[in-house]
Structure 1
Amino acid sequence: MIGTVLAALPLSYPDAVVVVGTAVVGFVAGALGPLAVLRRRSMFGDAMSHGTLSGVAVAFLLTGAAVPETLLLGATVSAALAAFAMIALERVGRLRPDAAIGVVLSISLTLGIVLLTHIADTGDSAQAGLNTYLLGQAAGMTERDIAVALVLGAVALTVVTVGFRLLRSATFDPGFTAVAGVPTWAVDVVSTGLLALAVVLGVRTVGAILMVALLVAPVVAARQVTRRLSALVPLSGLVGAVCGAAGGMLSGRAELP
């Protein structure tokens, strides 16, 4: 099915893969972005994306091979740890959200850069390509990457659709959600998990440095058109898809991150 779509586009095969792949990643990230932006946690995704760097590095050090699936698993674990560290600092450490994000972001980025530098200094030829997780490389996408993004994106958007009313209530009226008997920590876990999924899907394509742009910018653009959450989610996804595809094409043609 993916091959049919790629063949139908008036583009060369490599360009078609980049356009479709970045559009899918952009749509998923844009549609999930409101979970961060509307809860005033825009930089939450930034801290998680920076956290993926250390996970990628540790996964490589443990396995000695730059296998994409293994590296993404490491990125997922480290992004989740960064997210829960921020929540813990807010709830237990009693830090303001911006302070908790600043602490985790700085530690995550520093640790990731140190580990990647250490790996590069070893001269191990197998580490080629690890730096793409820092700056991104849309041209490296494959049909398999598109299939994975479609499956995981469909799961994430299904969760949003099924739990839409609860997520909307927790976003605009968390007090009512708590009174209704729904633990706020459970909503935090679900929304954080969805954001982590979006980050992991896009970090190899967009890079840890700019992944937050794909989460935040589409939402900000879509909010100029609508204030209704039911319209904001798909519209933000559409903006993210267009931006992702356009950026992917520009990256491939100009040979830039």
Structure 2
Amino acid sequence: MNIANHQGETKNMTDLDMSEFILINPIEGSQSQEYHETTDSDEMFFNRDRTVTLLNLYKTYKPKVALGKIKTIKRMWEIISTEISNKLRITIGPTKCKNRFKVLDRGYKKFTDNNRKTGRGRKTFDYENQFDQIYHKKVNIEPTILLSSKTISVNPEKPPSTMINEEIPNDKPSTSQSKPVQIPEVATCLQVNSKRRNPRISYQKRNEILVEIKNDLKNYYKEKLEVDREKLQLKKDKEERKRRKLNIENSDEI
């Protein structure tokens, strides 16, 4: 597979330095870390002002696609890129806007997934407020169900999606806001008594994770190829404009 590098040269995929494709994850362990995911081209082009403008325009126009006021997602990105170009006096295409949003969207989802899991240091995301507004804060960061050695506690503000029979003991009042719930032996798949995991299930889960990683890499290569092609086309257009300008100047001198 051939791909264009940053200088516009075409190389075979096997000849490329894999460092061009590696996404550096932040080091886990600290209590507060900044979580972001980006590519070299995005880092150079999209500063905070441009990124915030992109997210605000997406928040404005995405509902119009659902309502049918904008016919396609492709048309939405064309409108967004045009408004960014006019507002910030820059030249940007719809593909670059779409790719930037996809990268940020993946980073936001990983950020919320990390903070949802217990035992991990909380991380920060630069554009958390903007994405919270886009998704109307639908992402649950606090866990709905908390497990202990003998009971399962349900957050009263965020009930689980499945029905659970609740039995509140009368002899001892609960000091916490969560309600202890007894799970029926047959009606649920959650078991209080710890059992050894099935090796087959663990192996299957590892395979699913590997497949997901493979798909992510495949999508990343595809997106990077689109970005590189766009950069190459912009370079060709720039050279063509310079050539035409030079021809016009030469004809005027004659």
| TM-score computed with the length of structure 1 as normaliser | 0.29
Identify the structure with the greater helix proportion. 1
- Structure of greater Rg: 2
Q: Which has the higher contact order (CA 8 A, sep 6+)?
A: 1
